[in-house]
Structure formats: C-alpha cells, structure tokens
Amino acid sequence: MMVEVLKSKIHCAKVTEANLNYMGSITIDEDLMDAANMIAGEKVAIVDNNNGERFETYIIKGERGSGAVCLNGAAARKVQVGDIVIIMSYALMDFEEAKTFTPSVIFPDSFTNKIII
C-alpha cells in the first residue's frame, strides 16, 4: 500500500511579492528550496496564515539568497505582500517506509526569509 505523507515544509515564510501578471506558480529563494529539500517544478500546497487561503501550485527557482517568496498569476490574488505562509510538499511512499520517514521542515526568519541555523 502507498500513502501520501509530508515530504518538505517551509514553515512561516513571509510573502515578498505577488505578481498577478505571470502565468502561475510560486517563486522561492533557492536557499530555502535546498534547505527544505524541494525542487523546481515540484507541486506544493500553500496555506496563508493571515487569511486562511489554501491552494496548490508548483515551484519556480528564485534567486539564491534573495529571500524571495513570490506568488505568481492567479495565486497572487490569494495573498498580500507581508502575509505569512506555510509551503508544503508531499510524497507517495510505501506504508512501512512512511512509518519511519522524517520530513524536511525549516523555520526561516519571518522578516528576511533567511535560514535560521
């Protein structure tokens, strides 16, 4: 049996930009992506802590070290710059493997989106 489990999570990042005039997706600083074990094109679920919105999109690699968390296209209507979001990705895995799997969870600084060590 396969189950879908949390693979990666960026917990409480600040939205730095909302770009309505783009085809879609979320742009994430490559440092955040690496720390959370996420890749470009990966499907993510996003939760906005400020307004309760929940939606899905895919990742576009942002400039390394920029702190970028930019919602693009229609998703830009679901957030405001400065909102705090949780970005999650999931993976399918064997039930037994899932029992011992540990997801990558990071907690960036909520002002700069820099990795807190």
> Does the annotation mark 25 as catalytic?
yes
Active-site residue, selected from the candidate residues 8, 22, 58, 89: 58
Counts of helices then strands in the chain (DSSP H, E): 2, 8
- For the chain, the straight-line distance linking the first and the last C-alpha, in angstroms and rounded, comes to 37
> Does the annotation mark 66 as catalytic?
no
Active-site residue, selected from the candidate residues 25, 89, 90, 110: 25
Number of neighbours of residue 24 by Cβ within 10 angstroms = 13
Output the DSSP codes for 2-14. EEEEEEEEEEEEE
Which residues are catalytic, by number?
25, 58
